[in-house]
Each structure stands twice: as C-alpha cells, then as structure tokens.
Amino acid sequence: MERSIFNKAPKSPGVYALYGGNTRKKYVAYVGIANNIRQRFFQHFIRRDSSIVTGVSAISLNPEKITEVRWWEFSDEDARYLREAEVVAFDILDPVLRSRAPISPPVQYIANSEEFKSKMEQKFSGEPSGIIKILSYQELISKVFELEKIVKRIK
C-alpha cells in the first residue's frame, strides 16, 4: 500500500475507526486511539508492526480487508482524555475488535460521566474530521483495466 494515501491524515491526536466491507454493508472493524493519527496509520498499513496486525493475540486485523479509515481529531488539551473517548467510541461505533488494554476505574469513571459521554456521543455521531477510502484489490484491478483501455485508444 502506498504511503502517500495516508499523508492527508493529520499528525494530531485522535480516535480512529477502521472499516471493512463495501458501501452496501460497511462495518467498523477496529477502533483505536493515537497521539499521531498519520503515524498510527503507517504503523497499521505500511510497517504493519502494530500489535493488532502482527497476530500476537488470538484475534488480529487483516489490513488487506480495510476499505476505509475515519478519524476524529482532538485538541492537545482534550488529548489527555483519549482513552476515555475511546471507551465511549466503543459503545457508539460497536467495533468487531477493540484495543486490548484494560479499562482502569478512573478511565471508566470519566467515560461514564454524563457530561463527557454526551460530548463524545455528539462528536462520534457527527461527521469525522477526515476519511480515507482504500480501494480493494478488485477495485484496483478494475481501474488498471480502465487505464489500459484508455491507453490503447490513445495509441
């Protein structure tokens, strides 16, 4: 996968969701947090050295099956509550896979507070800060065939 498609992702902190499936039947495969969203995408898709894709646990993520990434940016001040925001995102986005880190009582306490929960529900129910669509191999092959037809017509 080419690095440049992730250059549009910010270097800021946030919560992100990885989607699988197609437009008719899209699902949230994984939700995670990052201090640098772009770097985290590189870790998942380019370097493939994140714990969720390396197969260190019984369940892992296959980056080849991801068709879209979305993220919600956080200010530096709000970034100190990323873990709490992730807990709320789990409830709203209902991912197939969740991060393996245990949820500490202080994190759970903040995530369950009505004010914080309401703020995060509004954030994750609204438009994401950004979206990157990732073509499947089948879509890439179709595009190559289309380009070949165009090239043949030009010759």
Kind plus residue range of the DSSP H or E element containing 130: strand 130-133
pLDDT at 137 over 80: no
pLDDT at 88 over 90: yes
Question: What is the pLDDT, as a whole number, of residue 106?
Answer: 94
DSSP state of 78: G
Q: What is the pLDDT of residues 26-40, one digit of tens each?
A: 899 999 999 999 999
Question: What is the pLDDT, as a whole number, of residue 22?
Answer: 77
In the sheet that 26-34 helps form, which strands lie side by side, from edge to edge?
Answer: 97-98, 26-34, 14-21, 66-73, 130-133
pLDDT at 25 over 90: no
- pLDDT band for position 127 (50/70/90)? very high
Q: Please give the mean pLDDT across all residues of the chain.
A: 88
Question: What is the pLDDT, as a whole number, of residue 32?
Answer: 93
Question: What is the pLDDT, as a whole number, of residue 107?
Answer: 93
Question: What is the pLDDT, as a whole number, of residue 3?
Answer: 55
pLDDT at 15 over 60: yes
Q: Give the angle 31-35-41 at the CA atoms, nearest 5°.
A: 55
Q: What is the pLDDT of residues 102-111, one digit of tens each?
A: 889 999 999 9
